[in-house]
Structure 1
């Protein structure tokens, strides 16, 4: 064990800071339904598995073991990992937001569901779409693309550099814009369905004011929304996964 030097342990810990910070907020890995000790062991296992590939660039950023320098490196690596992981979290949040919008127009928003990715209860329809998206992340191999991106990030953003706050904020805003545009594209069938359904019901209410159109039409709106979901959910998830893959590849 004499080959394990303090600088080697510190370098592995810095690798764990970046990888653990990313997995802490990444969808699927960072779900609140996964026990914290399981998430911790996953990040430690990934960090130790990738350590032989990453020790060389990390060791170059450790000219000394000054306490102030070490604290700055730990903070920088944590913030870098969280910034990378926030790309996936932003896409998932945008998908949940537009899913809640679709559920509201289908009269499903009042039904409370169990929390999935966060501590907030979402409608069951949103949970189904979110769970499908998370499963597809692992089925399509995006989690390997994320790990590959983390390995590449040590070359693009070498350890020891000062955390670029301005660049991170610009990336955050650009990702947020792209994610909500993708989410709006994904939920556009429900937006069109809601506009057409409400317009039709408004005209019908004008022609037959004696009938309580709103209460009579609720089952039909729900049935139409479920049929629409059955036909478009595969395309929705496919568009979402393609957009997330493109964002992670950058």
Structure 2
């Protein structure tokens, strides 16, 4: 019975992390696979973490409270990494607006809904980079290391968790703008130039001339900045997975 209790508590936190963590918790990944991965991970780490699990409480209410707290800790960690994934949607949306592709939408399997086509492309590329760089393993290691930061049975650090998630949101928005910044600058200069031409030569249908140029210019700039932007984002996600903070 004690081993069953320890395994159940470990599964609550590990399963919650893998349910939301990038790579593991994508909506396109079958639920059975995610459940199997969480169970296998629990069996693998149980021998080293059994001593961290408190004994079975005397009443049911304490047991339920402990289980809920473990799930919330796992959700907090997984949600922070998932929030950082939204930086790519922000960057893709801004690039799409700046390059004239704001209305081009595509189904995004990472969020389960449609999104800007450039954001979808960046998100799918990021999933490949996560597995190539081993960030998915870092997320699992972070779940194990979290038992040194958040001891089972101790009060939940609500204030620290709120600051943690707020920092992840701020970092995600900042990263998205940083990735799209070169395209924003080029689009600003281009639009000012087009406005000046339209004022000087009002007879020219400048919109039909400018739109193809704007699209090609935006895509061209994106090809140069995409590699560096994704590497900066991947480094930030890796530091978060190593529990070094979202910033």
Q: Does 2:146 align with 1:146?
A: no
Structure 1 residues 105-120: aligned runs within 5 Å: 105-120=98-113
Report the Cα offset of residue 65 of structure 1. Answer: 4.7
Cα displacement string for residues 172-231 of structure 1 (whole angstroms, at most 9, x for unaligned residues)? 112222222222212211211221121111111111111121222111111111111111
- Could you tell me the TM-score, scaled by structure 2's length? 0.93
Residue of structure 1 aligned with 2:22, choices 27, 47, 51: 27
Equivalence for 1:57? 52
In the TM superposition, what whole-angstrom CA distance separates every residue of 1:106-155 from its partner, at most 9, and x where no partner exists? 12221221222112201222111111111111111111211111111111
- Quick one: distance in 2 between partners of 1:41 and 1:111? 37
Partner of 2:11: 16
Structure 1 position 63, deviation (Å): 4.6
Once the 2 structures are TM-superposed, how far is the Cα of residue 32 of structure 1 from its aligned partner?
A: 1.1
CA distance in 2: counterparts of 1:23 and 1:204, whole angstroms = 54
The one-character-per-residue Cα deviations of 1:2-46 (angstroms, maximum 9, x if unpaired) are: xxxx12111111111111111111122111111222211111111
Structure 2 equivalent of residue 38 of structure 1: 33
Shift of residue 247 of structure 1?
2.3
| Secondary structure class of the residue paired with 2:115 | coil
- Structure 1 stretches of 4+ with a deviation exceeding 4 A read none
Unaligned runs of 5+ in 2: none
Please state if 1:104 is matched with 2:97: yes
Q: 1:227 maps to what in 2?
A: 220
Q: Bigger shift: 64-73 or 84-93?
A: 64-73
Identify the residue that residue 59 of structure 2 maps to in structure 1: 66
Cα shift readout 1:32-91 (whole Å, capped 9, x = no counterpart): 111222211111111211111211111xx1253521111011100000001111221111
Q: Secondary structure at the match of 2:104?
A: coil
CA-atom RMSD, angstroms? 1.4
Q: Secondary structure of 2:105's match?
A: coil
Q: Describe how 1:101-180 pairs up with structure 2 within 5 A.
A: 101-180=94-173
Structure 2 residue aligned with 1:191: 184
Q: In structure 2, the residue corresponding to 1:121 is in which secondary structure?
A: strand
Q: Normalising by structure 1, what TM-score?
A: 0.92
Q: Return the alpha-carbon distance in structure 2 between the equivalents of residues 25 and 166 of structure 1.
A: 21
